Amino acid sequence: MGNDGYLPLFETKRANGRTLYRVFAGSIFVGICLIWSYRVSHVPRDGEDGRLVWIGLLAAELWFGFYWFLTQAHRWNLVYRQTFKDRLSHRYGNELPGVDIFVCTADPVIEPPMMVINTVLSVMAYDYPPEKLSVYLSDDAGSQLTFYALLEASQFAKYWIPFCKKFNVEPRSPAAYLDSISISDDSKQPKELATIKKLYEDMKNQVENVAKLGRLPEVHLRHKGFSEWDSYSSRHDHDTILQILIDGKDPNAKDSEECVLPTLVYVAREKRQQYFHNFKAGAMNALIRVSSAISNGQIVLNVDCDMYSNNSLAVRDALCFFMDEKKGHEIAYVQFPQNFDNITKNELYSSSLRVISQVEFHGLDGYGGPLYIGTGCFHRRDTLCGRQFSREIHNEFKIDIPRDREREETTAVLEEKSKVLASCTYENNTEWGKEMGLKYGCPVEDVITGLSIQCRGWKSVYYNPERKAFLGVAPTTLAQILVQHKRWSEGDFQILLSKYSPAWFANGKISLGLQLGYCCYCLWATNCLAVLYYSIVPSLYLLRGIPLFPEPSGVSMEWWHGPRLVE
Ligand SMILES: O=c1ccn([C@@H]2O[C@H](COP(=O)(O)OP(=O)(O)O[C@H]3O[C@H](CO)[C@@H](O)[C@H](O)[C@H]3O)[C@@H](O)[C@H]2O)c(=O)[nH]1
Ligand SMILES: [Mn+2]
C-alpha cells in the first residue's frame, strides 16, 4: 500500500539473483575478450596457410560477441508481474469496459472448424459480464463449413456457458475440458456432465459429417445466413459475408438459464482478385472497424483460432493492468505468452518457445514491455488505431454506455451497415495499414505494429500467470518449423531495415534496453552467416591438417584428464 492508502491493481517485482547473473555475465564477457585477443594476436602472417580463414573466424567471433551483448537486454533486468483481481472486483464490481475478442481463421482444412469453434466457445465462456463481451470470427476462407460450425456453436453455447459457470470449469474449451475429465470416475460426475458431453458429441459428429460430405444438407441451408454465399465465386472473390449469430442486445438471446449471452459475429471480409488482402493484418483491420459499429468494446483481445483460452480469468487479469489508477493509463497492450498443449516429449525442434516466454519477455518487460506477438494480446482499441500517448490523459474508460440500439436499428440493418466497413475499397486513401490498425507489408505484422505503438510513447506489459492463459498448437514437423521460422526471421529482419527500425527510428522513443532487445530478434536471421562459417570452415581445414584453434596446453590437458584418472 502506498502512503496515500492506495492499493494498486498489479505489482511488479524484480527477479531474485540479478547480481549473481550479472557477475556470471561479466565472467562470460571476460572469456569473450580473451578469445578475441587470442584471435587478433595469432593471425597467420602474410602468405601463411589459413590467414584469410583466420580473419573470417575473427569476424565470426566478433559477431558472436556483439550478438551475445544484444542478448543481455533480454536477461539483465527480468521483472515479474502479479495482479490483484479481488481488488478489481471490489473496486469496480460490474462497472467494467466492453471487451471485443477477435478470432482469426483462414483455411478450413488446415484449421478444422471443430478446432475453431472450440476456441470461440472458450472465449465466449470467460468469467466476465456477458453483455460486455463480443466475439468476432474472421474467416478469410469464407467457408460455409466454418460458418455452419459457428452456427452450431452458437446453439451449444446456450448450454456450455451456464455449465462452465455452474461447475467453475477449466479450461473452457469443450474439447480440452472433456478430454481432461474422460479418465476420471464416471459415477461421481454430475448428470449435467453427461448431458453436455452428449450435446458436444452430437455437434461434433454433425460438423465432421458435413466436412466429410463436403456439402451441407438441405435442412441446414435454410438458415438465412447461407444466402450470403450467393455472391461467392471463390475464396478470393466474394462480397462481405457478415452475420450476427447472437446479438447480445436482443432480449431473446438467452442461455438455458435465462442469462444474457455474449454477442457472436461471423465475418468474411470482401475479397477481390484486384485488391490485395494483406493476410491477417487485413483481417484484423476489417474486424476493428466492424466491431466498432456493433459493440465498440474499449479493449480488444486477439487470439489465433488454434489457441484456446485456458484460464477464464485472463480478461480480469488484463484489466488489472489497464484499470490501475496510477499506472494503467501508460499501458497500451498486455501480452500473454504463447503456450502449447501438443509439445512432444523431447521437443525436438524447441517449438515450445520456452526461453522466449520464460526468460526473454520478462527481460523486455523490465525495459518498457514485450513485443506484440499476435495471439493472446489485449489492446486498448484507440492505441491500436493510432492514438499517441499523452501524460495528461488518465484512464477514461467510458464505463457502461450501452447504446440502446434496439430502438435505433434492427440486427439486419446493423449487419448491412457493418458490411461496408469490411469492403475492399474502404481502406483506399486512408491511413489503415499505415498509421491505423495493424501495419501492412511485413510478414510479422504484429511485431512492427507493437513497436510503432511503443514508439508513440506507450508501454506494454508481459503477464505470465501460473495457470496458462492460452494454449495452442505448435508446429511439430521440420517442414512446418522451417516455414514459421523463415517467416519470423525474415519479417524481423525487414523491420530492422524498415522505416520503423529499432536501430534508428526508435532511438530516443523507447529505452535503450528495449532497442537492443528488438535488435536481437531483428538480427536473428543474420546470425546464420557466422554460424555456417564457424561450423563448416574449421572442420574443412582440419581435414587439410591446418588447426584454427589453439592446441590444448599441458595444464588444460591435465585439468581435462584429471577427474578421469581419479575415477
Ligand atoms: O490471410 C490470412 C492468414 C492468416 N490468418 C490467421 O492468422 C493467424 C496466424 O497465422 P499462422 O499461419 O497460424 O501463423 P503462426 O506462425 O502460427 O502465427 C504466429 O506469427 C504470426 C506472425 O507474427 C502472428 O500473426 C500470429 O498471431 C502468431 O501466432 C491464424 O489464426 C490464421 O488463421 C488470417 O486470418 N488470414
Ligand atoms: Mn499458428
| Nearest ligand 1 atom, CA 375 | 27
Q: Looking at the chain, which residues constitute the CATH 3.90.550.10 domain(s)?
A: 81-522
Does 400 participate in catalysis according to the annotation?
Answer: no
**Is 140 marked as a binding-site residue?**
yes
- At residue 301's C-alpha, the angle toward residues 240 and 405, to 5°, is 60
How many other CB atoms sit within 10 Å of the CB of residue 290?
26
One-letter amino acid of 298: Q
Query: If you take atom 7 of ligand 1, which residue's CA is the nearest one?
Result: 280
> Could you tell me the three cell numbers for 366?
523490465
One-letter amino acid of 444: V
| Nearest ligand 1 atom, CA 103 | 31
**Element housing 531 (H / E):** helix 527-543
Alpha helices in 182-264 (DSSP H): 191-213, 218-221
**Is 304 marked as a binding-site residue?**
yes
**Residue 459, beta-bridge partner list:** 331
How many angstroms is it from 454 CA to the middle of ligand 2? 24
- Whether the complex's predicted ipTM is more than 0.90 is answered with yes
- Entry pTM: 0.94
CA dist., res. 86 & res. 91, Å (int): 8
- 547 Ramachandran zone, left/alpha/beta (phi>0; psi -120 to 50): beta
How many angstroms is it from 280 CA to the middle of ligand 1? 6
> Could you tell me the three cell numbers for 457?
510513447
Using most ligand atoms within 8 A of CB, pick from 280, 302, 379, 445 the residue to mutate for ligand 1.
280
Does 140 participate in catalysis according to the annotation?
Answer: yes
Mention every residue, 6+ apart, whose C-beta is less than 8 A from residue 407.
Answer: none
Catalytic, out of 239, 317, 446, 492: 446
Q: Is the dihedral of CA 334, 338, 339, 345 positive or negative?
A: negative
Query: If you take atom 18 of ligand 1, which residue's CA is the nearest one?
Result: 374
Using most ligand atoms within 8 A of CB, pick from 123, 301, 304 the residue to mutate for ligand 1.
304
Query: If you take atom 23 of ligand 1, which residue's CA is the nearest one?
Result: 444
In a structure prediction context, what are the per-residue pLDDT tens digits for the chain, which is 567 residues long?
A: 556 778 999 999 999 999 999 999 999 999 999 999 999 999 999 888 889 999 999 999 999 999 999 999 999 999 999 999 999 999 999 999 999 999 999 999 999 999 999 999 999 999 999 999 999 999 999 999 999 999 999 999 999 999 999 999 999 999 999 999 866 556 667 889 999 999 999 999 999 999 998 888 877 778 889 999 999 999 999 999 999 999 999 988 999 999 999 999 999 999 999 999 999 999 999 999 999 999 999 999 999 999 999 999 999 999 999 999 999 999 999 999 999 999 988 888 888 999 999 999 999 999 999 999 999 999 999 999 999 998 877 767 765 545 555 545 789 999 999 999 999 999 999 999 999 999 999 999 999 999 999 999 999 999 999 999 999 999 999 999 999 999 999 999 999 999 999 999 999 999 999 999 999 999 999 999 999 999 999 999 989 888 888 887 766 666 666 555 444
Phi, psi of 260 (to 5 degrees): -65, 145
Query: If you take atom 17 of ligand 1, which residue's CA is the nearest one?
Result: 484
Which one, of 552, 536, 550, lies nearest residue 53 by Cα? 536
CA dist., res. 306 & res. 286, Å (int): 20
485-to-7, 313, 445, 472, 478 alpha-carbon distances in Å: 43, 31, 15, 17, 10
- At residue 503's C-alpha, the angle toward residues 499 and 507, to 5°, is 90
b/e per residue 168-181 (b: at least 16 CB within 10 A): ebbbbbbbbbbeee
How many angstroms is it from 267 CA to the middle of ligand 2? 20
Q: What is the DSSP string of 313-381?
A: THHHHHHHHHT-TTTGGGEEEEEPP-EES---TT-TT-TT-HHIIIIIHHHHHTTT-PPP-SSSEEEEH
How many angstroms is it from 304 CA to the middle of ligand 1? 7
Mention every residue, 6+ apart, whose C-beta is less than 8 A from residue 211.
Answer: 108, 112, 113, 145
**Architecture of the 81-522 domain:** Alpha-Beta Complex (3.90)
Query: If you take atom 16 of ligand 1, which residue's CA is the nearest one?
Result: 484
**Is 111 marked as a binding-site residue?**
yes
Residue with cell 474439447: 175
Catalytic, out of 140, 247, 255, 365: 140
Residues near ligand 1 (Cβ within 6 A): 104-106, 111, 138, 140, 279-280, 283, 304-305, 374-375, 444, 446, 484
Which one, of 492, 548, 550, lies nearest residue 519 by Cα? 492
Residue with cell 480440452: 176
